[in-house]
Amino acid sequence: MTHFICITCGTQFREGDRPPPTCPICDDDRQFVPRSGQEWTEMAILGQTHAVVWNEEAEGIHSLQISPHFGIGQRAFLIEGPDGNILWDCLSLVDEASKARIAAMGGLNAIAISHPHFYASMAEWSMAFGEVPIHVHADDDQWVQRTIAALRPWTGETLQIGRATMIRCGGHFDGSSVLHCPWLDGGRGALFVGDTMQVTMDRKFVSFMRSYPNLVPLNASIVKAISETVRPYRFQTIHGAFPGRTIERDGNRVVERSAERYVKAITG
Ligand SMILES: [Zn+2]
Ligand SMILES: [Zn+2]
């Protein structure tokens, strides 16, 4: 029996003696199955060919990604906080080096995930650190492929994790969330957005889509609502889902002007 991992999106599934017939996350209209068809792997095999690479993004902010490229190539973040370490978003691989490194940093206090594309191997990450609570929005319940007792689906609009706040924005998924950490960036605040907002290639804007690979936009009222939802929180930096996608300054203003530009583009 194995917990199979979808090679296309990186999601790990409940135990089975053969791979699931399909991956619901890849079959959804927000993702895709490659032309070559669906393929599967498992943690032990992935660990032989791939590793988790760490990058120091800023004081107290470490990004983690799988190398070479795997799944959709996202990064996760190990965030050091006054109430312990938070893993924001997740990867398909848990490697021994990362386990040792995080243990040496005091272990993990919480796992918080923006949306189903980054559920990855969240159960394994939790179990590696003693059943760390995993915070995912309950509105995305149907997309969870491997349930464990440490899973803590949350409801409503915000969730406090120590001094950090998980904020539901919706849009990309009903439960799509961001994480606000007011102590980071010298107390000016940092926002971790997954692809609830996607930091654009020029790192001057964020964008908002139902589907990024299939190019399905969101409507004006949802984009305005996302911008308004994060307005009460102060943040200087914005940390996006993919390597290098970081906005270094003026985060609040960037979100405001990005929403204005987007709404103007789709309403004419
Ligand atoms: Zn998949
Ligand atoms: Zn996504």
Over the stretch 184-233, which tens digit does the pLDDT of each residue have?
999 999 999 999 999 999 999 999 999 999 999 999 999 999 999 999 99
Report the separation in Å between the CA atom of 172 and the middle of ligand 2, taken as the mean of its atom positions: 7
CA–CA distance, 79 with 88 (Å, rounded to integer) = 7
Measure Cα distances from 71 to 75, 77, 119, 200, 238 in Å. 11, 17, 12, 20, 23
pLDDT averaged over every residue in the chain: 97
Q: Judging by DSSP bridges, how do beta strands 237-240 and 246-247 pair with one another?
A: antiparallel
pLDDT grade for 268, boundaries at 50, 70 and 90: confident
Output the domain CATH number for residue 75: 3.60.15.10
Report the separation in Å between the CA atom of 129 and the middle of ligand 2, taken as the mean of its atom positions: 26
Q: Which domain holds residue 119?
A: 5-267
pLDDT for the residue 42: 97
pTM above 0.85, yes or no: yes
Q: Judging by DSSP bridges, how do beta strands 190-194 and 237-240 pair with one another?
A: parallel
Report the separation in Å between the CA atom of 218 and the middle of ligand 2, taken as the mean of its atom positions: 13
Residue at 254: amino acid letter? V
Calculate the CA 91 to chain-centre distance. 9
Q: From the CA of 173, which ligand is nearest?
A: 2
Report the separation in Å between the CA atom of 10 and the middle of ligand 1, taken as the mean of its atom positions: 6
**The total number of structural domains that make up the chain:** 1
Name the 3-class secondary structure at 257. helix
Q: From the CA of 7, which ligand is nearest?
A: 1
Report the separation in Å between the CA atom of 26 and the middle of ligand 1, taken as the mean of its atom positions: 4
- Angle at alpha carbon of residue 260, lines to 247 and 138, rounded to 5°: 70
For residue range 13-72, list pLDDT tens digits in order: 999 999 999 999 999 999 999 999 999 999 999 999 999 999 999 999 999 999 999 999
Report the separation in Å between the CA atom of 67 and the middle of ligand 2, taken as the mean of its atom positions: 20
